[in-house]
Structure 1
Amino acid sequence: MLTIEEIFPPFGLRITSGTVEMRVLRDEDIPELVELICGGVQAPDLPMPFLNDWHAQPFQPGSPEGFPTASLAWWWSQRATFAPEDWRMALTVRRDGVLVGMQDVHAKSFRQARHVETGSWLGLRHQGRGTGTLMRQLAVGFAFDELGARSCGSGYIVGNHASAAVSRKTGYVTNGLNRIVQHTTDGAIGVDEQRVLVTPGTYIRPQASVTTQGADALRRFLALA
């Protein structure tokens, strides 16, 4: 009988460095992930970091509205639409076996553009320990070393000094400002987003060694082999 990793190779990806491990989100992770989100994601002294305030939606488990139903639909849709020309991986981040946050890596027309975008967040009680920098470094290193990316982009809301520090410590450089719209419970608002870009020449690697498993099968799944 085939394993789930053979059927859907993204499930076989495993990136580790020290006590930090990143793997593609599975259904069995979801209860722990929901509990983590309910404990808080956004630091009170920083601007709202997302395009939509999904983390602040009413907690209504078992209901078609509110959290976590909308988030479940988003996470599951990533599997249903995963394709070489348009893919997104939501990676769980565990430290000492405990789920602490999520790291996203996504791309369109990657075989031609060799460019990925990254985004990430940590639960409030796990912030300020260096995990945010390490998980971003691991994601960028994976894109460069295992997928052959030539650049990785990201962005943060102007004023979010914590995200700015993570980008700087990973080797991102500023790459222009965008005016974007955030959707909140109070309505749509316009904010400035600082775009950043990292290339192999500016990338800062983590100090600890990195181990990656499942990259060969994933490359074949992405038609990169």
Structure 2
Amino acid sequence: MLTIEEIFPPYALCITSGPVQMRVLRDDDIPELVDLVRDGVQPPGLPMPFLSDWHAQPFRPGSPGGFPSESLAWWWTQRATFAPDEWRLALTVRRDGVLVGMQDLHARHFPQARHVETGSWLGLRHQGQGTGTLMRRLVVGFAFDELGAGSCGSGYIAGNLASAAVSRKTGYLPNGVHRVVQHTTDGPVGVDEQRVLVTPATYVRPDAAVSVEGADALRRFLAIEG
């Protein structure tokens, strides 16, 4: 009998450095993830970091709408639509075995473009410990070293000093300001998003050794061998 990792190779991916380990989100992670979101994600006094305030929706388990139902639909959709032309790795981030946040890696037409987009968040009580910088360095290094990416883009809402610091410490450089719309419970709001870009020439590697498992199978699954 085949294992689930052989059927869906993203599940075999494991990126580890020091106390931090990242794997693709599984259903078994979801209860812990829901608790993490409910404990808080957004620091007080800083701008809302997402394009949608999914993290602040009413808590309605087992009911349509609200959290976590709408977030579940998003997480499951990422697996259902996984394909070489467009894919999104939703990576759980654990520090010393405890789930502390999520790190996304997203690409369209990667075999031709060799470009990925990154995004991440940490639970509020796990912020300020260096985990945000390490997880971003790990996923960018994975994109460059294992997938052969030529560039990684990201962005943060103007005024989000924590996200700006993570980007800077990873080697991202300013890449223009875009006007975007955030969807909140009070309606759509126009805000400035600072775009940033990191390349192998500017990338800052983690201080500790990095271990990657499952990259070969993932490359075959994404049709990006070589």
Normalised TM-score (structure 2): 0.99
Q: CA deviation at 1:207?
A: 0.2
Counterpart residue number, 2:153: 153
Trace 1:183-222 onto structure 2 (pairs within 5 A): 183-222=183-222
**Cα distance in structure 2, aligned partners of 1:62 and 1:213:** 35
**Cα distance in structure 1, aligned partners of 2:199 and 2:96:** 30
Q: CA deviation at 1:45?
A: 1.4
Q: CA deviation at 1:65?
A: 1.4
Trace 1:93-112 onto structure 2 (pairs within 5 A): 93-112=93-112
Q: CA deviation at 1:110?
A: 0.3
**Cα distance in structure 2, aligned partners of 1:180 and 1:5:** 37
Check if 1:167 corresponds to 2:191: no
Counterpart residue number, 2:40: 40
Q: CA deviation at 1:29?
A: 0.1
Trace 1:21-60 onto structure 2 (pairs within 5 A): 21-60=21-60
CA displacement 1:79-99 (0-9 Å, x = unmatched) = 100000000010000000000
Counterpart residue number, 2:16: 16
Q: Aligned to 1:102, what secondary structure does the other structure show?
A: strand
Number of residue pairs aligned between Structure 1 and Structure 2: 225
Extract unaligned runs of 5+ from structure 2.
none
Counterpart residue number, 2:86: 86
One-letter identity of the residue aligned with 1:62: G
CA RMSD of aligned residues (A): 0.3
Q: Aligned to 1:28, what secondary structure does the other structure show?
A: helix
One-letter identity of the residue aligned with 2:211: T
Q: CA deviation at 1:71?
A: 0.2
Normalised TM-score (structure 1): 1.00
**Cα distance in structure 2, aligned partners of 1:168 and 1:224:** 29
Q: CA deviation at 1:17?
A: 0.1
Counterpart residue number, 1:143: 143
Extract unaligned runs of 5+ from structure 1.
none
One-letter identity of the residue aligned with 2:210: V
Q: CA deviation at 1:224?
A: 1.1
**Cα distance in structure 1, aligned partners of 2:115 and 2:198:** 10
Check if 1:2 corresponds to 2:2: yes
